[in-house]
Amino acid sequence: MQQNMTMKSDANSDDLFQLVLPPSGTKSDAKKRLILEATIEILANQGIEEITFESLGDKLQTTKANIRYHFHDKDELIFLAVKFMAFTAQSVTATMVKNAQKPQDKLNGVILGAYRHLKTNPSHVRAFMMYFYYASIFSNYRELFTQSRMIGQLRLSKILHDLPRRDGQASVKSLMLLADQIQNLITGQIFGVVLLGGSFSTSTAQTQNMVKALLAGEGIKWQVS
């Protein structure tokens, strides 16, 4: 069964947490959130093999029994932490798109949103690389990745539909294909910065130019305002 990834475009971190773990109305909600955030930090800074109930207990200055009380299964805990990251990334981009008025600015919001998410959540950068790797191996991560990517493609295809074209309107299929290419381009650029070094600001400008060239080849004029 597919999980519902519908979210408000201006969802804050509390909204996102409640999508990952529906609130129980008890004090344990705040504790679970702290555990998820600690899981992401260990995943990013030390690696997945270092995520244990003991290491989480040490980081949060509590016992491993307390961690087990809230999350009985370590694999499920890691998956929920990754899911929280995926929701956060979608929310940042959706908010930037929502706040833009023109289609040209909305497209730029998609690019800027991807970079802003990682700049404001630095612990997510390397954790996302693990997420992509796991999506190629495990079905639950693959399903989450597919759903999240589809949300992004639908958002992008709508924006692309509203941009002026030299040859009139394009088919839904062609717009989705173009959206997929833009997603791959943005992801590749970000991974390049993470793996090879460099600045996010330089990479952002490069990504904008590459998207502009890609769109020009499709008869779409796009200019960053």
DSSP 167-219: TSPPPHHHHHHHHHHHHHHHHHHHHHHHHH---HHHHHHHHHHHHHHHHHHTT
- Written out in words, the top-level CATH class of the domain with range 13-217 is mainly alpha
- In the 8-state DSSP scheme, what is residue 4? P
Predicted confidence pLDDT, tens digits, the chain (225 residues): 334 444 443 444 445 455 566 655 667 778 888 999 899 999 988 888 999 999 999 999 999 999 999 999 999 999 999 998 888 888 889 889 999 999 999 999 999 999 998 888 888 888 888 898 999 999 999 999 998 899 899 999 999 999 988 877 788 899 999 999 999 999 999 988 888 888 889 999 999 999 999 999 988 988 876
- In the 8-state DSSP scheme, what is residue 51? -
- Asked whether the CA dihedral 155, 156, 162, 168 is positive or negative, the reply is negative
Q: Is 10 helix (H, G, I), strand (E, B) or coil?
A: coil
Angle between the 139-162 and 74-99 helix axes, to the nearest 10 degrees?
A: 0
Kindly state the tokens that stand for 179.
Answer: 């959206």
Domain boundaries, given as residue ranges, for the chain: 13-217
Contacts of 156 (CB under 8 A, 6+ apart): 107, 110, 178, 179, 182, 183
Cα angle for residues 128, 44, 31 (degrees, 5° grid) = 100
Query: Residues 152, 93: contact at Cβ < 8 Å?
Result: yes
Q: How many residues are present in the chain?
A: 225
Angle between the 124-135 and 28-45 helix axes, to the nearest 10 degrees?
A: 80
